Structure 1
C-alpha cells in the first residue's frame, strides 16, 4: 500500500516565525524552517527550525518514521524523515512571488534504512527538482527559486520502486523582489532577452572571490559563498585582495540582500605586477549539465581605490558578457559602490562552463581585471525539469554482454557494407551534383574545387562552397553554435567572411535522409526565389560531406513561438500574418513554375521567421514534382511527418498538391491552439489535435480549443472564418479541399475581419492604426485579382479588396 503523507503548516506558525529578530533586518513574509524527523524544535544560525511532528502541523498519515543519531555535523542532520511512499509537504503562501527552497540531505544508516542507498524524485508544483536522485555519502543542500502564483506550495517526494526517500530539513521563505531578475540578456550563439518570470532556477555555484568563504551566519539570506580557489585555472595569474571597509551600499541598484559586504569586499584580480605586458585572463571553470540555460550573475566592486577606472572584458565560455566593462559608468562614479550584472547562456554539449575576466585593449597603464563574486543558476528545461535524462542501458550480466557482442559485430558488419555502398554511390553522384552552380562559381569567384582564396556571398546565388570556408564560418562546427537538429543532421549558425549570417545544415553520419534528399533540396531551391521561401546561399559536397547553406532566420521556427520553448508568444494578428506568408510560399510552389512542386513536409517546425517575423517555408528535402496536366496524382512512397500526413496519401500513396493543403490545415490548428499535433499527456479525446478540433468545430465550440494566450484577442467573425478554412483543408478527400490560392484568399479575409484598428509590430505586439476601409478610392472586384499571377501575389496586399467586401457585407446586414 502506498502511503501518502501531507504536512499542512498552519498560518499562525508562519506568523510566529516572522516575529524572530533577524540580525540583518530582512524578515520574509513567508518563512518556514522545518527540522524533519525531529520531535523538538532546533535552533541553528539564530533561526528556529520547527519539528515536522509539532502539534502545529496536521500529520495526515498512517505511519510516522523518524530517525535520530548522534553527529558532529549541524544539529539539523541528527534526524531525518523517511518516506516509504509518495509523500508531500504543503505550505500556505501569503506573499505570491519568488520563494527560496532549500532541501537538506545528510544520509546515514538507521536500523533497516541505509540512506546512502535511497533513490527518489522531488517535485514542486509543475517542476521536477530532482529526478531519480541517488544520495551517496556526505551532506548536500539543494537550493531552488520558484515563482509561486498560487496560495500553496506543495513539495512531493516520490521513492523509486523498492526504495525510499528521506529529508533532514527544509527551508522555504520569500525572497526580496529585486533578487531574481524578470529577465536577462542572452549571450552566445543566440542573442536577445530571456524572460525568467515563469522559470524555476537551481543554484549550481555561489562563489566568493578573494579565496575567502562567506558563511550562512554572515549573509542576510543565509547563503553560503564558497572560496574561489578550487575553481581557478591558473592560480599564478591571480592575486587575492580584501578591503571590506571600502564597500559602500549607497546606490539604488545593489542592496546587501543581493550580496553581503563580505562578498563585495574581497576580490580576485589579474596579477600583472611580474609582467606589466601580460595579456592573460583570469579563468574559473565549473561543472554543469549540458542541454540547459544558465543565469550567470557577476558581482563587482572596486575596492582598490585606484584613481583611474579599470577597463576589462568579461567572458562566459569565450563569449563576451561585457566588452570594455567600465564599472564607474554603472555606479555613477560612487567609490566602493557594488554592482551586479546578469547574463544567460545555453550550454549545449559540454559539462564545463568557464568564466573569465581579462584586460581591455584600450586600458592605459597596467593591464587589470577583477571579480568579487559569482553565482550560477540553472534554468529549468522545456519539461520543467532540472535533471538530464540518462539512459540505463548497460548490460549487467555475462549473458547480456555476449548477446551485445554478437549484435554489435553483426551491426558493425552491416554498417561497413552500407558505408561501402554509400561511398561508391556518393563518388559517382558527387560529380553530377557539383555541376549545380559550380561553373558559375568558378567564373565569378575563382573557386577551383579544392578551395578558394576569397568567399563572397553578396550575390546570394547558390554555389559550391569549399569545406574550409564552412569550417571557418562555423568555428569548426562548434557545438555552441547549434541552432537546430533534424532528421538530416544538425543546423549551425555561421558567419561568412563578409559578415553575412547564415544557417549551415550538415548531414550527420546517422542521418535518416541522405544523398537523394540532399540533391533534391539543392535542385529545388536553385529553381525559385520568393520572399516567403528560405533562400539557398550555397552547398558543399567535399570530403563526402552533405552541407547546405541558407539565409539565417533570426527568430527561429514557428513551432518554437507556439509551444515547447521559452520563445515569446505571438499575437493572434501576427499568427494570421505568419499563416498568410506561409500560404503565399506554398501557393508559389504549387503554381509558380512549369510543374507543380509539392513540399511534402509542411509543419510548424519547417516554417521559419526572419528578424521582422515574416514567415518563410523551409526544408525541401522531401519535395517532389507534381503531376503533369494529363495526370491526377503522383504515385510515390509515403514520406512526411507523423500527425501532418494527408490520410488519402497515407492510404493510397497518391500524392497531390492537396496533400500540402491538408498538412497546412494541421499547422493552422497548431497556430490556433498553441499545442503539439499529438500530446500523449492529455486525455484520450484531446490527444490528437485534428480529431479534437474537428469535434469542437462540428459542435460549434471552436473557442474551446483556442490558445488561452490569444483568446481575448480574437474577434468571433475572424475565428469563425479561420475555423471554416481549417475544416475545409482537413477534408478526408483531396477533391473537397481548397487550393492554396483559395486558402490564402480566405486567410486574408480572416485577417480583414479581425479589423484594422490594430497593426502588429515585429514581436507580435499591437499599436494603433488608421482605419483602412475609407482609404479605398477605387472599386476593386475579385475578378481583377489574378490568383495565377505569382509575382503579384508575392507582394500584393489585399487590404482594399477585403475592405470593400467587409463594407458591403456590413451594408447588407
Structure 2
C-alpha cells in the first residue's frame, strides 16, 4: 500500500519551502490566543510561544515570536530576520517557516526546537551536558557560522553580529542551530573591503573589542564571540559571571589570564573534568584562546575552527575507546551487558555494576550513584502515596531530592541475585543514555542497596496511563487528552525505529510504561526489554519470548522473530485500550464469546456487527465516525500478517488525518501461540475498507487550535 504522510514533529532540518505570510487569526489559533501556558521563552522582543501551525497540508510544531509594542527591537530587525532566513537554508541554522505583519502585529514563526538553548543547558539545567556532547554541539554551531561566512553560489557572506550561547538552539537530537538574525549584516560578494562600517550592536561579554573600538564589523567579530562561547562550554560559567572575582567578571579575560598563569584546570567545569583527555583540554583551550586574539587577523577562520574541533573530538573518542579496551578487552556493542552478569556471586556482580555504570554508560552521559538514604528521603520511606505502579521486578515511585528536583525511581528487587532483573536494569541504562527526546524519560542515576538496584529518572509524573485509563472512577481522560497521548507514543516509536542514535524495538509498549505529567504530556519508559537492530534489517531472531500478555505480536510468539512491526502490534492494542477503556486481556469479557477475552477480537467482532457503542469508553463523548476511524487504526496495527501492518510513520499520517485511502482487506485471525496463550482458535473476520478520514482531519484541526 502507498502512503504519503506529514507530521507535526520536530525535524533536524526543515525542507527548503518558501517563507509564508500568515494571517493574525492563524497565529491566534496556533497559540490558543497567546495562552501563557504555551510560553517557552522571553526576550527583549517579547514572548515566544509553542504552537502547531498549518503549512499547506502539513502540521508543523512551531516557535512563534510575537514582538511586543514596548520592545526595543522593531521593524528593522523584524524585516532583517525575514530577509536573512528566507535566503539561508542549512541544517545548523534555525528555519523560518513564516511571518505575520498585520496592523501593529509583527510575528515570526520558526521551527520548534525542543531542547532549548545552549545557555539554558549550560547554566540552568541540573543534568549537565557531557564533554563529548558539548564538543558535538560546538562543531554544529561552528559549521552554521562557517556557512554564513562563506560564498556559496549567489549567497552573500553574512556576519551574524550576535553569536552567543542563548542564540544556539538544540534540537531533539542535539543538532545545534544558530538563531536570531535581527542584527546580522550582509557583506556583498566581490566587495573589496573586508569589513562593514556600522553602529556597534551586540551583547556585552561577547563583543569583539576591535569592533567595539572602531565600528568595523568583520567575520572575525563572530569568531571572537564564538571563542567566548567555547570558554562557556568549557567552564560552565556565563560570559559575564559575577562568581568570578570583580576584576574578571568577563569570562574571556578571566580564561585568558588563567591560561597565561598556567591555571588551565581551574577553567574546567567540574562536571566534565574527570572525563576529559588532558591533550583535548589543552587543544580546546588554545583554540578558544586563538579566537579571542586582540588582532582580528590572527584569529582563525570559522572553517579552521571547525577542523580544529573535529580533530579534538576524534582525539577524545580515541581516548574513550582505549579506556574501554583496557576495561573490557574489546569494544562492547550496544546494547551492552557486563561480562559476568549471569554467573557471578553478589559482590562481584555489584562491583561489575558500578564499573559498568561509570565507564560504559558514563561515556555518553554523566551518571550519578546516589546514596540509599537519599532514595529513602526522596520517596518518604517508599510511602504508599508515592507509589506509582508495579514494575516488572518491583515498584515505581515518584520522589523529590533535597535540592527540590522531582524524580521517578524504578526499583529492581533482589536484582543483584536475579539474572533477568539485573540484565534488564543494565539494558535500560545502556539504552537511555543514548536517547535525547522530549518524550523519552531521562536517566539521572542509580543506587545500590544490598541486592536491590534503583534507577532514578529526571521526571515526576502525576500518573501512568494504566492508572488513569483503568480506574472506573477517573474522569480526567477526555478524548483530547487520549488523542494527545496516542500521538505522543506514536512519535516516540517513530524516533526509536528510525531516528535514534541506536535504533531499537521497544518490546513492551504498554500503558504502565506511559508516564504522564500534569499537562498529560507523555514520557516513554520501560526499556529493559529493548533490542537494537541495524540498518539492513529490522528483524531479530531471539531465543525466548519477553513482553506482556495481550500485547505480543503473533509472529513473534510463533517464530521468535522480532521486528519493528512487533511494536506496531503492541501500539495497536494500546490504541484500542485507550479508545475502549478496557484491558488487552480480560477473561470476564468471554461470557458470550470465548475469544472476547482478547481485546482486539472483542473490538473487531463488535465493530463488524455494528455495535460501536458497546466498545467505546462511555467516559468519552465523541462523534461515532471519528471513533470508528481510530478503532480501525488500532485494528490495522494488530493484523496477524506483520507485512501488511502500517509502519509507525504511516500510523502518524492516519492519526493526523492526512492519509485518506482505501485499505486492503483487514483480516483478524486467531493463530496465536497456543502454548503461550492457552486459547482456542478464533473466528475470522474482515473490514473491507477504512472509513473516510475527514472526521479525523476535522478533529485534528479543531484540536490543534
Q: Same fold (TM over 0.5)?
A: no
Bigger-Rg structure (1/2): 1
Give me the TM-score of the superposition, normalised by structure 2: 0.43
Give me the TM-score of the superposition, normalised by structure 1: 0.37
Write 1 or 2 for the structure with the bigger share of helix.
2
Write 1 or 2 for the structure with the bigger share of strand.
1
Structure showing greater relative contact order (alpha-carbon pairs closer than 8 Å, 6 or more residues apart) = 2
